Chains A and B, each alone.
Chain A
Amino acid sequence: MMFEWMNYSFMINALAAAIIAAPIFAILGTMVISNKMAFYTDVIGHSTLTGIAIGVLFGITDPAWFMALFLVFLAIGINYFKTKTKASADTVLGVFFAFVVALGIVILSRNGGFARYTSYLIGDVLTVSLEEIYILAGLLFLTIAYFFIASNSLYLISINRSLAMTRKVNVFWAETSFTILLGLVVAFSIKMVGILIINSLIILPAAAARVLAKDIKSYTFYSIGISVISSILGIISSFYIGIASGATIVLFASAIYALSVMSKKIFK
């Protein structure tokens, strides 16, 4: 039956969470791509492993808040380190990436216990609680409010940093505040979407929107549209086929990306 999934409250919750999270990822993604931060986002995503691990060491059972704190410090740390070294951003990120992932695995694999944490790798949106949905709603509000304040500055930095500075943009704080927001969003959604998937959910809708958009407004709204549509399709079809929802959403988003590129070629 077509609407069978509606009889399950966990499905309603999952869909609500996905519909709230989708625009957050979509909006952040537009800026992540414009500022060439895809690798950075991947590092933040994988750093959750270390966040969980350190939380476990301190005996914290629900690590989301602790992880958020850890990612905020990490974001500030990476940004500060980038300004203090002559090494390329790519190298700095590569080093952080290697270190945090290794540290996370080492701590979590003590006494051979890593298997307990594999759920964090692919995530599970079906176990999302009402409280988590409220937190996501708060993050959506925060993201939109943040973009009202900072998006002009961030776009200008993406075009030319010096020019941004002459237009009275505080480059360090604009970039740092954005990475803090990114860290918060990742921390509170990682359990739902998983470490391996989160970067794709942030990158793909914006990448597809970029192909079709003619200005910043259409870029933003296409990205939101693509993200929401692939989330709904992904959640519902994963229910019927019995597959991981996060990855299914990514496959739908990939398909939309491919269609965008092809339609651009055909209708050019």
Chain B
Amino acid sequence: MNQETCLHCCTKIENLTVKFDDTVIVENFNLHINCKELIAVVGPNGTGKTTLLRAILEEIPYTGSVHYRVKGSLDEKPMIGYVPQKLHFDLDSPISVSDFVGISISKTPIFAGIGPRLKQQIQSTLLQFGVTHLMDKKIGEISGGEMQKILLSIAMRPIPNLLLLDEPDAGVDTYGLSLFYKIISDLRKQHDISIIMVTHDLEGISAYADKIITMGHRS
């Protein structure tokens, strides 16, 4: 797989290994993704799927290499969009959907209020996936599926080269999920994006993924 050519744009992960002290979490992970490809990473809990994403995000140290080719030039830092698995707010959190989008896409301080220009940016961000009607709700009041669309709206602003999704199937019903896969699948074609999606839903994603990688426990 490492030998595949990478002409226009791609992400190449070679021998990626993550250790915490002496515990090996991910060992010698190799992956080559071309643009417009959707890769699903499946496997049981505790096999390092989320850790893999965190390493790609440069959030934790790893050995091995991650190279990118963006629009032909090698090793240019790509824009990475990220849809996390879990958010850590309390249900009574006084943060509205507008606030959440605003703090994610803008440096304009939200605590002093949202001005008309930022409001318009927030609206157009949410409009991508048709969730502008949620603007005034608190983030603790919306459903899992609605939150997925909001997170995706944020991850797509600006349009990334690489999109990482961590278990977007958690807390979303089957119908909502197949709709979500359809959206994701269309996105990569429209915008030249490579997508890595960690998921438990092997059955659901298999219709859309170009490759499926299974991560297992070390024997």
A152:B84 contact, CB within 8 angstroms: no
A214:B94 contact, CB within 8 angstroms: yes
CB-CB < 8 A to B142: which residues of A?
none
A217:B82 contact, CB within 8 angstroms: no
Contact A159/B110 with A216-B95, A216-B96 known, Cβ cut-off 8 Å: no
- Name the CB-closest residue of A to B138: A214
B95:A162 contact, CB within 8 angstroms: no
Could you tell me the distance between the alpha carbons of A215 and B139 in the complex, rounded to whole angstroms?
Answer: 9
- Name the CB-closest residue of B to A215: B96
Could you tell me the distance between the alpha carbons of A156 and B100 in the complex, rounded to whole angstroms?
Answer: 7
Interface residue B153 (Cβ < 8 Å from any Cβ of A): no
- Of residues 208 through 252 on chain A, the ones whose CB sits less than 8 Å from some CB of chain B are 209-211, 213-220
**Could you list 13 further interchain pairs (A-B, Cβ under 8 angstroms) beyond the known A159-B139, A215-B96?**
A34-B89, A147-B109, A151-B111, A160-B88, A162-B82, A163-B87, A165-B58, A166-B82, A167-B154, A214-B94, A214-B136, A215-B94, A216-B111
Could you tell me the distance between the alpha carbons of A10 and B65 in the complex, rounded to whole angstroms?
Answer: 66
CB-CB < 8 A to A166: which residues of B?
57, 80-82, 155
Could you tell me the distance between the alpha carbons of A30 and B103 in the complex, rounded to whole angstroms?
Answer: 15
Q: Which of B59, B80, B93, B139 neighbours the largest number of chain A CB atoms within 10 Å of its CB?
A: B93
Could you tell me the distance between the alpha carbons of A162 and B87 in the complex, rounded to whole angstroms?
Answer: 10
CB-CB < 8 A to A219: which residues of B?
94, 111
CB-CB < 8 A to B136: which residues of A?
214-215
A159:B95 contact, CB within 8 angstroms: yes
- State the main secondary structure of chain A at its contact with B: helix
Q: How far is the CB of B66 from the nearest CB of chain A, in Å?
A: 15
B92:A211 contact, CB within 8 angstroms: yes
B84:A214 contact, CB within 8 angstroms: no
CB-CB < 8 A to A156: which residues of B?
103-104
A148:B109 contact, CB within 8 angstroms: yes
Q: How far is the CB of A148 from the nearest CB of chain B, in Å?
A: 5
Could you tell me the distance between the alpha carbons of A30 and B112 in the complex, rounded to whole angstroms?
Answer: 13
B103:A215 contact, CB within 8 angstroms: no
Q: How far is the CB of A222 from the nearest CB of chain B, in Å?
A: 9
- Name the CB-closest residue of A to B160: A166
Could you tell me the distance between the alpha carbons of A211 and B81 in the complex, rounded to whole angstroms?
Answer: 33
Contact A209/B82 with A152-B109, A162-B57, A167-B104 known, Cβ cut-off 8 Å: no
Interface residue A177 (Cβ < 8 Å from any Cβ of B): no
Q: How far is the CB of A227 from the nearest CB of chain B, in Å?
A: 15
B110:A151 contact, CB within 8 angstroms: yes
Contact with B along A76-116 (1 / 0, CB 8 A): 00000000001000000000000000000000000000000
Contact A162/B94 with A151-B111, A152-B110 known, Cβ cut-off 8 Å: no
Q: How far is the CB of B108 from the nearest CB of chain A, in Å?
A: 8
Q: Pick 15 A–B contacts, CB within 8 A, sort by A.
A: A27-B111, A34-B89, A147-B109, A148-B109, A151-B110, A155-B95, A160-B84, A162-B84, A163-B151, A165-B59, A166-B155, A211-B92, A214-B138, A215-B95, A215-B136
Q: How far is the CB of A210 from the nearest CB of chain B, in Å?
A: 5
- Of residues 157 through 183 on chain A, the ones whose CB sits less than 8 Å from some CB of chain B are 158-163, 165-167
